[in-house]
Structure 1
Amino acid sequence: MTTLTDKAILSGAENRPPILENYMYDSWKSRMELYMMNRQHGRMIIESIENGPLIWPTIEENRVTRPKKYFELSATEAIQADCDIKATNIILQGLPPEVYALVSNHKVAKELWERIQLLMQGTSLTKQERECKLYDEFDKFAYKKGETLRDFYLRFSLLLNDMNIYNMKLEQFQVSTKFLNTLPPEWSKFVTYVKLVWDLHTTNIDQLHAYLGQYEFHANKVRLMHERNSDPLALVATKVLNSVRHGVAARSSLTL
């Protein structure tokens, strides 16, 4: 069954090239290929990008070899020549101004395509460095004091999204366990319940966030209680207040 998202993608493919946004290269590349395939002679456009433009045929005239003029091309050659130009134009139309300025000097679609990939993904070395950094961020991901459950969930989701861009695969159990184990102590009761009852091999963080969100009020109450009990000044103040109350009560009873 075609989803609303699929329809939106296909609709976009019919109207205009997808724009490279937020440097989300992998998703843009997939949508751009879909867009090209939906154009007339789409396979020839893709061919131009993957294998380069038409090698312009030559003709011998008066014992001199020269490139054919456009009107001298065969029907297939003329279509490929047109697709070479279309491929370049489609790619350029899908670029934001800052990227366009860096690559617009490339007129051959294959060279343009490869240049954009290099800009977005870097060389294999820089890509490897980025992957190492993301794995390190995942390992060290921690709850920030004072943030809400939603803020925590959004930060974790953004990290996972960055990792998905580089096709960095993590097991679902690994992701769900990391999400739960990183929550602060006030969530321990609810985290323990989830670990005992839920199958973390099939549960994603969206489901965990939706479930835990129902108990954020209770978790906050536990946190406030822990903070009061762990604050020496608060404990002293509580003892003094209780002493004063007991003293007032004792004097009242004597008076009576």
Structure 2
Amino acid sequence: MDSIIPIGQKNTFAEYMILFGADNCPPMLDKDLEWSDQNKKYAELSAAEKIQADCDMKATNIILQGLPADIYSLVNHHRVAKDLWERVQLLMQGASLTKQERECKLYDAFDKFTHIKGETLHKYYLRFTQLINDMNIYNMKLEQFQVNTKFLNSLPPEWSKFVTDVKLVKDLHTTNFDQLHTYLEQHELHANEVRLLRERNQDPLAFVANQ
């Protein structure tokens, strides 16, 4: 559903979608036929009603253009964009999780968050930022100290010296993890050198050679 365009975009985006799927695009809804089905002619609508009808028709057609054939056949009878979109979401994603279920999943993700082998500090920071943003959307309150400690303690061993240093110079109750990331970023080269040295020394033959 990445190709579906929200209501409010310029018409050229809708035209682009139609062109992009021209080989197999489903039939489009026609506003005159649609309104005749409802026993009210489009021409008889007020100016505001016409604008609403046009927007709804365009949004409905845009959504239909982005659907696979099996889903399209189940929802093409919907004529209101909001109803259509809710039905599509139900079919393609399943019933929405309750707020409590989402919060549980996010708390679990926070507890299990850790560095992925091979990722840079910046990618690690972006993943953590996304998680915290998702939690903020649901107004899930976490103490600043808790967030900062999680960000620092989930880094791999090569960062241990720099994590200790930053804990000494930063107040984890008042600073934020963005500032911690900026501080640690200055030492990423050295952290990578520590990691490479440790990896070499894990090989007994390499350790003997270095000695």
Using the size of structure 2 for normalisation, the TM-score is: 0.58
Indicate whether 1:189 and 2:161 are aligned.
yes
> Contact 1:131–1:168 at 8 Å: present in 2 too?
no
Aligned-partner residue type, residue 185 of structure 1 = P
Instruction: Find the counterpart in structure 1 of residue 86 from structure 2.
Output: 114
Aligned-partner residue type, residue 93 of structure 1 = I
> Contact 1:84–1:108 at 8 Å: present in 2 too?
no
Measure the CA separation in 2 of the matches of 1:179 and 1:96: 42
Aligned residues: 180
Shift of 1:131: 4.6
Shift of 1:136: 2.0
Instruction: Find the counterpart in structure 1 of residue 142 from structure 2.
Output: 171
Structure number with greater Rg is 1
Instruction: Find the counterpart in structure 1 of residue 49 from structure 2.
Output: 80
Q: Name stretches of at least 5 consecutive residues in structure 1 with no aligned partner.
A: 1-19, 37-55, 57-66, 243-256
Identity of matched residues, %: 54
Indicate whether 1:89 and 2:58 are aligned.
yes
Instruction: Find the counterpart in structure 2 of residue 98 from structure 1.
Output: 67
Instruction: Find the counterpart in structure 2 of residue 218 from structure 1.
Output: 190
Instruction: Find the counterpart in structure 2 of residue 40 from structure 1.
Output: none
Measure the CA separation in 1 of the matches of 2:158 and 2:55: 59
Instruction: Name the SS for the 2:117 alignment partner.
Output: coil
Instruction: Name the SS for the 2:67 alignment partner.
Output: helix
Instruction: Find the counterpart in structure 2 of residue 123 from structure 1.
Output: 95
Using the size of structure 1 for normalisation, the TM-score is: 0.50
Change (3 A) 1:149 1:120: same
Measure the CA separation in 2 of the matches of 1:68 and 1:223: 72
Matches within 5 A, 1:61-76: 76=46
1:45-97 per-residue CA deviation (whole Å, 9 max, x = no partner) reads xxxxxxxxxxx9xxxxxxxxxx66566x5x75x63255134224235436771
Instruction: Name the SS for the 1:222 alignment partner.
Output: helix
Change (3 A) 1:137 1:110: closer
Higher helix share: 1
2:122 to 119, 132, 150: 150
Shift of 1:142: 1.9
